[in-house]
Amino acid sequence: MKKNVVFVQGNEACTEAALYAGLDFFAGYPITPSSEIAELLSYRLPKRGGKFIQMEDEIASICAIFTASITGKKAMTATSGPGFSLMQEAIGLAVITETPCVLVDVQRGGPSTGFGTKGYQGDIMQARWGTHGEHAIIALTASNNQDIFSMTVEAFNLSEAFRTPVILLLDEFVAHTRERLVIPEQGEIDLVKRLKTSVPEGSEYHPYLPSEDGRIPMSDFGGVHRYHVTGLVHDMSGFPSNSPEDVSRTMHHLVEKIENHSKEITRVKEFFVEDAEFLLISYGASARTALDVVKSLREQGEKIGLLELQTLWPFPDDIVMRRCKAVKWVIVAEMNMGQIVREVKRVVDTPDKVFLANQVDGTFINPTTILNALKHIK
C-alpha cells in the first residue's frame, strides 16, 4: 500500500491530525509559535466542510469552541503561554460542564510576553492547576512529528471518551521542526465518536446521568432536548445545586472519571530500560536530546535508558515508580526550572536519587547539559 509521506513542521502535523480526527470547528487568535495551526486550518478546514473563525482574542476563542462542542461538533483551538493564561477560566467551564474539546498550547518562554519566539516547557503545572477548583485534567505531549500526529488524534479520542477538555502541550522546538510524517490511511486509527443519548424526543433528558459503562451520553444543544448549561455545581438535570450531596458527587466525579482510568489514559515510550542502571526521564523536545545521549552512551557500554512521557496528566505514577525503583540514579531532563522532576520525586521511594538536568535560556537543551548531570552523580 502506498503511504502518504510528507515533509512538514510539527504544527502542520498537528493540523493534519486534527483533520484526520474529524475536526468540525476551529476558533483561535494568532500567537507565536502556534500561528501556523490557525493559518493552515483557515483554508484547509472549510474545504472539508468545517468552520474556521478568527476571534478577537483567546478568551473568545475558547468560549467559541466550547459552544460549538455542546452543539455536537468536534472543536479545537491553538495558542501559546499568554493566550493559555487567558483561557483558564473557560477551561474550568468546560471541565465542570464536561464538554469535549482540544486545546493546543505551543509553549514559549514566560512569564507574561517572555521570549515569544523561543521554545520552553514552562506550562506543565499551569496545564494541571491553571483553572481554579478541584478537578482532574488530561494533558499530552510529543517529541516528534509522527507522535504529534498520533497524540493529536489521541487528544480528540480521550476528549470524547471522557467528556473533558484535553490539552496538547507542544513546544516551539517540536512545533517548528521539519521532518518526515507518514499520514495513516483513514480508518487505520480508530476514532472515538461522541456518545449520544438514546432518550427519545419529548422525554425528560438528564445531561449528567451516567450510562451503565460510566460514560455520560450527550444531546446536541439546540436539538431535540432542552437542558440547562451552567458553570455552577449542578444536579443530574443540569440545574444549579448547593446541596452537599450534589457538590460531593460532582467533585468526586470530575476527579475520579480521569484518575480512576489513568492506566488506560497514560502513554509512555521506553528505550533501553530493561537492563538500565541509570534512567533519563524526559518529554517533548527535551526527549529528543535525551534519546541522543542514551544512544551515544549505550555505544560506549553504559547501561542507561530513557522513559519518555507522552502523558503528563494524569501523571503516570505507577510506571515511573516501577522504572525508577530498578535503577541507581534518575535524571529528569526538561526545559524549565524543574516541574516534572517534582512529580518524579513525589512518586519514587528514594527522592534523593532523582536529579534535574535543565536549561532555561530559550535554546534547545544540549546533550552536554545532561552529560554534566550524569558526571555529577557518578
Q: What's the pTM value of the predicted model, to 2 decimals?
A: 0.96
- Confidence (pLDDT) at 220: 95
The answer to whether residues 87 and 58 touch, using CB atoms and an 8 Å cutoff, is: yes
Q: Give 248's contacts (C-beta < 8 A, 6+ positions apart).
A: none
Say which residue the cell 534523593 belongs to: 352
- Return the residue matching grid coordinates 494568532: 30
CB 102 within 8 A of CB 155: yes
pLDDT at 214: 77
> In angstroms, what CA-CA distances link 124 with 89, 166, 198, 350?
17, 13, 38, 23
Q: Which CATH superfamily is domain 4-183 in?
A: Thiamin diphosphate (ThDP)-binding fold, Pyr/PP domains (3.40.50.970)
Question: What's the pLDDT at 1?
Answer: 54
Query: Which DSSP letter does residue 97 get?
Result: T
Question: What is the DSSP code string of 201-218?
Answer: TTS---TT---TTS---B
* Domain 4-183 identical in fold to domain 269-377: yes
pLDDT per residue as tens, the chain (378 positions): 567 999 999 999 999 999 999 999 999 999 999 999 999 999 999 999 999 999 999 999 999 999 999 999 999 999 999 999 999 999 999 999 999 999 999 999 999 999 888 999 999 999 999 999 999 999 999 999 999 999 999 999 999 999 999 999 999 999 999 999 999 999 999 999 999 999 999 888 999 988 777 789 999 999 999 999 999 999 999 999 999 999 999 999 999 999 999 999 999 999 999 999 999 999 999 999 999 999 999 999 999 999 999 999 999 999 999 999 999 999 999 999 999 999 999 999 999 999 999 999 999 999 999 999 999 887
* Cα angle for residues 267, 215, 170 (degrees, 5° grid): 30
- CA 19, distance to chain mean position in Å, is 17
Cα→Cα distances 311→132, 189, 315, 318, Å: 21, 19, 7, 13
| CATH class of the domain whose range is 269-377 | alpha beta
Q: End-to-end alpha-carbon separation of the chain, Å?
A: 49
67 CB-near residues (< 8 Å, 6+ apart): 221
378: how many CB neighbours lie within 10 A of its CB? Answer: 9
**CA atoms of 66 and 71, how far apart (whole Å):** 9
**Dihedrals φ, ψ of 218, to 5°?**
-120, 155
CA–CA separation, 24 vs 253, rounded Å?
28
∠ Cα 312 315 316 (to 5°): 110
pLDDT of residue 2: 64
Please name the residue that has the C-alpha cell 545521549: 293
Domain map (residue ranges) of the chain: 4-183, 269-377
Nearest C-alpha neighbor of 123 from the set 156, 85, 94: 85
> Strands 138-140, 165-171: parallel, antiparallel or unpaired by DSSP?
parallel
